[in-house]
A and B are shown apart, each in its own frame.
Chain A
Amino acid sequence: MIFRQSFVLVLGIFLLVYPAFSSAEEEARITVQWSPRPAGLSLFRDRSFSVLFPLSTRETRECIDAGLELEHRFLFRLCRQVNGFTTDCRTTKRVVHNLSYDPIQDAYRIMKDRLDDQEDPTLSSHRVFDDSLGEASLVRELPIWYVLDSQEDDPPLLGNGNWSIGMRVRTTCKGEMREFLADLSYFVSFGIIDIYGTDSGCEYFRLVE
């Protein structure tokens, strides 16, 4: 009886205390900047917005120095609140920024790719780490039509106000070794060793005129 009670006590203390020892780093927030509406623009889908989700300098540096590639994945989903419980959402659209270090060029390479269009990814190099970090954290001028299911589609936004774009950013440190190692570490350690990265969680930004 005493043994059981002691065990329960220890486990309870651990579970209470564990969150305090877990990462206390303040989570970054998604920042959205809507581009000003050009004069004469009548369709909402032609408008664009920029999204910034800052990368953690420490974690990015660790990932890059380890020879791994950092994937900064932006997920967008257009949704409409039907009632208090249900939402009507379109297909999720993705923009991926991959940041890696080229030891030959001694430069930080960024590959940006909108996965749900036909365009090729764009590549850029930066000698300075901070510049590359900033560049990888930012999605510049993403048109709203990219978030829609089709280019012709235009949500009945005006006079409605229920539309919003749900955004989520996941940062993952990837590498050839990583998957196996991450899987092994993850399973064997029952999830304690987790190098899959961070997840911002979903935030909704209302579409306004």
Chain B
Amino acid sequence: MVSSRKKFLVWWFRSGIAIRLALFFAVSALLFALVYWQRPDGEGTYLPTNIAVFSLVNLNIAILFVLIFLVGRNFYQLIFDRKRKILGSHLRFRLVSAIVGLTAIPAVLLIAVSSGLLNRAIDGWFSSPAEASVEAAKDIARFHFQSLEQRTAQIARSLSEEVQSKQLVISRVEDLKGLLESRRVAETLYAIEIFRNKEVSLVKVENATASITFFSPPPPREESFERAFSGEAHVVVQETPSSQFIRAFQPLILGKEEVVLVVTHRVRSEMTLALSSIRQSYQEYRQLTHFKNPLRSTYILTLYMIAGLVLFAAMWLGIQIAKQLTVPIQRLSEGMREVAKGNFRMQVHHRGDDEIAFLTRNFNQMTNQLRESTEQAESRRVYLETVLENLAVGVIVIDPMARISAVNSAVLRMLSKQRDSISYEGALVETFLPIQIWREVKELLHVEESGDDRKRGSTSARLQEREVVFSLDGREKRMLCTAGILRTRDQNLLGSVLLLDDVTALSEAQRLAAWREAARRIAHEIKNPLTPIKLAAQRLKKMFSVDEEGGRGVHDATTTIIEHVDSIQRLTDEFSRFARMPMLHLETTDMKTLVQEAVLSYIEEGSRISFQSIIDDDVPPLEVDAEQIRRLLMNLIENAVKALEEDVEQQQNESPRIVVRLSVEKTDGEVLLEVRDNGPGIPDHEKMQVFQPYFTKRSGGTGLGLAIVSSIVAEHHGDIRVVDLNPRGTRVIVSFPIFGRESTQRKLELSWKED
């Protein structure tokens, strides 16, 4: 399950710029509203405490620092990536620098100019003439107002003196009133009043509008009365929403009573308005003066913050634009790296309809085509390799430096090498091939190099053949070597190819066939005259008896003739048998029985030669011609017997022994038939010749026995070899494939093994 946080992050990074901007503005508006709500305002239901404001300030500072951090981090990341030469970092750096430069330079210029203009404008507000005029207006208003206060106080003072000088008393209220009224009218006062105490008014004269509450002044304040009754003459100003009243309090002794004379002067409405206007203007001017620097700072700070935001926005925009370019390019680059490594399934995904998307689509097409081509080439290669591996002919591909490029298993089998063909790749051909083959092959290759084919410009040279005879594992081998030069159409040398075909068996078969034909003809030609010769001799023998003169001589002569004719007949019979090898009658035969029978037939009492048979129990029945196998066994054992008899006569061997062993080699799928003797052995140079017809070292031998054995083995698609025993003796090993004719291919794959 993907966590919700991860889902959000995936959605956030996949969402477009429009959504992010919308979210950004929404959050900003929310924050703005929160700040506005937090602002102390009148009787808001929420009254933020100092802690809340302090926290908000710190939060704002933190946000400011985060902004600075983000800008700094982005900038640092750009530089760092560029230094590390990360793909796309140069482009990103240039784009961001360009966009930031394009926005920053005008923004900085604008700020510089705006700051200058702003400073000038603000300073202009507070120029000397402006300040002087404001101050002068204020002074004039103040002077006028003070004049009014002084006049009112003067009036109160003069009135109290007048009252005292006239020795008016409280009881003469009418007199007092008349005086006060006359003075009130003369001085255009609002009201004149005499108080006994703060609550009791003795005399009062006032303006006619005093009865209208809207125009009536507020009652004098207690503290004013306290001051006045304590003897302090003073002036106070009292206001109503509509008017200003100047009140002069003058202590007075009326009769013997201490009273307070209160003179009230109402400032004219026009004057009040004018004074209010001046007051307001002055206050505003003072406010402006007070906030000049904070105002200046605020405006400049605003400019800087806007510039900062613009810079950040420009940087962010630059990064986003750069990312839109560099991220797909990076993906393409990674894709190319993967393709270079051999991963042709690599696909790059990019949404959009721009040039990058076009490039990406082309890249994907290219990788698909590459993959298909590679797969086709691979399947062709596998096909060719399979064909090569299954060829019965050995193939060696050689590069121009005479090193092996490729070799198939047929070559390894023919040359009795280990099966891992890869381990021979790169090895020198000279070290790989037997020396006899290399000598011939080298000549072939040299012939090709200097041949006319190169001049003719053919793509491949004419193939040259040569048969090579060499010895391998004590056996004579015949190999048909075919070499060819490989060239491109441009006549560049690719190397050469060497084909090896083991024609040993074929050659032997051809030789045997030739021998048989010769034997058949000779036997046929010789046999015919033998009968009449023998008959004639017999007749002569009968014609002359031994007692007659000369009869003994004729008798001996004819006897000799007849014996030799018989001998020649036996020889021709052998020839005939060799020539006319019967057709094979294959049937499932128990080899164990054949071996036992053969060995038993030679065991006789008094024989100095001991016989032993060793037969494995798991030897399977084979598809063989039983008669031929018997003949084979007889010939092999007979050979061994003859060799041991000679050995005994020469007193070379005191315990002659013949062992016949039948075993199965499951790994190679063969049944091995061995005839061992501890006779004199066969010299190495004769091991190859013993299976050839008419090769014999015994007097009276026909030389056909082992040739017949070899022929029988070949008919059964087996193999035969002669190996020396240690310390003395001979092993003749015959191998039969377990699966008979149907898997003759397996015979080619068998490896030679020795115990």
- Residues of chain A touching chain B, judged by Cβ–Cβ distance below 8 Å, are 3-4, 7, 10-11, 14-15, 18-19, 22, 62, 65-68, 75, 92, 94, 100, 102-107, 122-125, 168, 170, 172, 175-178, 181, 183-194, 196-199, 201
Question: In the bound complex, do residue A106 and residue B142 qualify as a contact, i.e. CB atoms below 8 Å apart?
Answer: yes
Question: In the bound complex, do residue A67 and residue B141 qualify as a contact, i.e. CB atoms below 8 Å apart?
Answer: no
Cα of A170 to Cα of B43 in the assembled complex, Å:
11
Question: In the bound complex, do residue B72 and residue A3 qualify as a contact, i.e. CB atoms below 8 Å apart?
Answer: yes
Known: A103-B138, A178-B287, A196-B40. 9 other contacts (CB 8 A): A7-B72, A65-B290, A103-B286, A107-B237, A170-B47, A184-B302, A190-B35, A198-B50, A199-B49
User: Which B residues touch A94, using CB under 8 A?
Assistant: 43
Question: In the bound complex, do residue A184 and residue B142 qualify as a contact, i.e. CB atoms below 8 Å apart?
Answer: no
A-B CB pair tally, cutoff 8 Å: 137
With known contacts A94-B43, A187-B35, A201–B49 Cβ distance under 8 A: yes
Scoring A103, A177, A190 by chain B CB atoms within 10 A of each residue's CB, the highest score goes to: A103
Interface size of B by CB at 8 A reads 56
Question: In the bound complex, do residue B60 and residue A191 qualify as a contact, i.e. CB atoms below 8 Å apart?
Answer: yes
Cα of A68 to Cα of B218 in the assembled complex, Å:
26
Quick check: is B432 within 8 A (CB to CB) of the other chain?
no
Distance (whole angstroms) from the CB of A181 to the closest CB of chain B:
6
In the assembled complex, 13 residue pairs joining A and B whose CB atoms fall closer than 8 Å, in A order, are A3-B72, A7-B73, A14-B65, A19-B54, A66-B287, A66-B291, A67-B289, A102-B279, A103-B286, A104-B275, A123-B238, A177-B287, A199-B47
User: Which B residues touch A65, using CB under 8 A?
Assistant: 286, 290
Distance (whole angstroms) from the CB of B237 to the closest CB of chain A:
5
Cα of A181 to Cα of B282 in the assembled complex, Å:
18
Question: In the bound complex, do residue B54 and residue A176 qualify as a contact, i.e. CB atoms below 8 Å apart?
Answer: no
Question: In the bound complex, do residue B57 and residue A194 qualify as a contact, i.e. CB atoms below 8 Å apart?
Answer: yes
Question: In the bound complex, do residue A181 and residue B298 qualify as a contact, i.e. CB atoms below 8 Å apart?
Answer: yes
Quick check: is B526 within 8 A (CB to CB) of the other chain?
no
Cα of A189 to Cα of B53 in the assembled complex, Å:
13
Question: In the bound complex, do residue B282 and residue A196 qualify as a contact, i.e. CB atoms below 8 Å apart?
Answer: no
Distance (whole angstroms) from the CB of B101 to the closest CB of chain A:
23
Residue from B36, B40, B284 in contact with A170 in the complex, judged by beta carbons closer than 8 Å: B40
Residue from B63, B73, B218 in contact with A4 in the complex, judged by beta carbons closer than 8 Å: B73
With known contacts A102-B279, A103-B138, A104-B142, A188–B236 Cβ distance under 8 A: no
Question: In the bound complex, do residue B294 and residue A193 qualify as a contact, i.e. CB atoms below 8 Å apart?
Answer: yes
- Residues of chain B touching chain A, judged by Cβ–Cβ distance below 8 Å, are 32, 35-36, 39-40, 43, 47-50, 53-54, 56-65, 69, 72-73, 76, 138, 141-142, 145-146, 218, 221, 236-239, 275, 278-279, 282-291, 294-295, 298, 301-302, 305
Distance (whole angstroms) from the CB of B99 to the closest CB of chain A:
22
Cα of A103 to Cα of B275 in the assembled complex, Å:
10
Cα of A103 to Cα of B340 in the assembled complex, Å:
88
Cα of A10 to Cα of B69 in the assembled complex, Å:
11
The residue on A at minimum CB distance from B274 is A104
Cα of A168 to Cα of B138 in the assembled complex, Å:
37
User: Which B residues touch A170, using CB under 8 A?
Assistant: 40, 47
Cα of A180 to Cα of B40 in the assembled complex, Å:
13
With known contacts A65-B286, A125-B236, A187-B32, A201–B50 Cβ distance under 8 A: yes
User: Which B residues touch A188, using CB under 8 A?
Assistant: 298, 301-302, 305
User: Which A residues touch B47, using CB under 8 A?
Assistant: 75, 168, 170, 199
A-B pairs with the 10 shortest C-beta distances?
A190-B60, A67-B286, A66-B290, A67-B283, A191-B57, A67-B287, A104-B141, A177-B287, A196-B40, A191-B60
User: Which B residues touch A3, using CB under 8 A?
Assistant: 72-73, 76
User: Which B residues touch A199, using CB under 8 A?
Assistant: 40, 47-50
Question: In the bound complex, do residue B63 and residue A190 qualify as a contact, i.e. CB atoms below 8 Å apart?
Answer: yes
The residue on B at minimum CB distance from A195 is B294
Residue from B48, B61, B138 in contact with A104 in the complex, judged by beta carbons closer than 8 Å: B138
With known contacts A125-B237, A186-B39, A199-B47, A177–B284 Cβ distance under 8 A: yes
Cα of A106 to Cα of B275 in the assembled complex, Å:
12
User: Which B residues touch A122, using CB under 8 A?
Assistant: 218
Question: In the bound complex, do residue A103 and residue B282 qualify as a contact, i.e. CB atoms below 8 Å apart?
Answer: yes
Question: In the bound complex, do residue B221 and residue A124 qualify as a contact, i.e. CB atoms below 8 Å apart?
Answer: yes
User: Which B residues touch A194, using CB under 8 A?
Assistant: 53, 57
Cα of A122 to Cα of B239 in the assembled complex, Å:
9
Question: In the bound complex, do residue A186 and residue B305 qualify as a contact, i.e. CB atoms below 8 Å apart?
Answer: no
Residue from B50, B61, B142, B278 in contact with A18 in the complex, judged by beta carbons closer than 8 Å: B61
Question: In the bound complex, do residue B298 and residue A184 qualify as a contact, i.e. CB atoms below 8 Å apart?
Answer: yes
Distance (whole angstroms) from the CB of B35 to the closest CB of chain A:
6
The residue on B at minimum CB distance from A62 is B290
Residue from A14, A67, A92, A124 in contact with B282 in the complex, judged by beta carbons closer than 8 Å: A67
Question: In the bound complex, do residue A192 and residue B287 qualify as a contact, i.e. CB atoms below 8 Å apart?
Answer: no
User: Which B residues touch A187, using CB under 8 A?
Assistant: 32, 35-36
With known contacts A102-B279, A176-B284, A190–B145 Cβ distance under 8 A: no
User: Which B residues touch A191, using CB under 8 A?
Assistant: 35, 53, 56-57, 60
User: Which B residues touch A125, using CB under 8 A?
Assistant: 236-238
Cα of A192 to Cα of B301 in the assembled complex, Å:
12
Question: In the bound complex, do residue B61 and residue A192 qualify as a contact, i.e. CB atoms below 8 Å apart?
Answer: yes
Distance (whole angstroms) from the CB of B111 to the closest CB of chain A:
15
With known contacts A4-B73, A125-B236, A181–B294 Cβ distance under 8 A: yes
Question: In the bound complex, do residue B237 and residue A105 qualify as a contact, i.e. CB atoms below 8 Å apart?
Answer: yes
Residue from B138, B288, B302 in contact with A177 in the complex, judged by beta carbons closer than 8 Å: B288
Question: In the bound complex, do residue A185 and residue B60 qualify as a contact, i.e. CB atoms below 8 Å apart?
Answer: no
Cα of A185 to Cα of B294 in the assembled complex, Å:
8
Cα of A187 to Cα of B491 in the assembled complex, Å:
84
Distance (whole angstroms) from the CB of A14 to the closest CB of chain B:
7
Question: In the bound complex, do residue A190 and residue B64 qualify as a contact, i.e. CB atoms below 8 Å apart?
Answer: yes
Residue from A14, A67, A75, A123 in contact with B61 in the complex, judged by beta carbons closer than 8 Å: A14
Distance (whole angstroms) from the CB of A106 to the closest CB of chain B:
6
User: Which A residues touch B146, using CB under 8 A?
Assistant: 106
Cα of A170 to Cα of B321 in the assembled complex, Å:
51
User: Which B residues touch A176, using CB under 8 A?
Assistant: 283-284, 287
Distance (whole angstroms) from the CB of A59 to the closest CB of chain B:
13
User: Which A residues touch B305, using CB under 8 A?
Assistant: 188
User: Which B residues touch A100, using CB under 8 A?
Assistant: 283
Question: In the bound complex, do residue B57 and residue A104 qualify as a contact, i.e. CB atoms below 8 Å apart?
Answer: no
Distance (whole angstroms) from the CB of A15 to the closest CB of chain B:
6
User: Which A residues touch B221, using CB under 8 A?
Assistant: 124
Cα of A201 to Cα of B48 in the assembled complex, Å:
9
User: Which A residues touch B60, using CB under 8 A?
Assistant: 189-192
Cα of A185 to Cα of B39 in the assembled complex, Å:
12
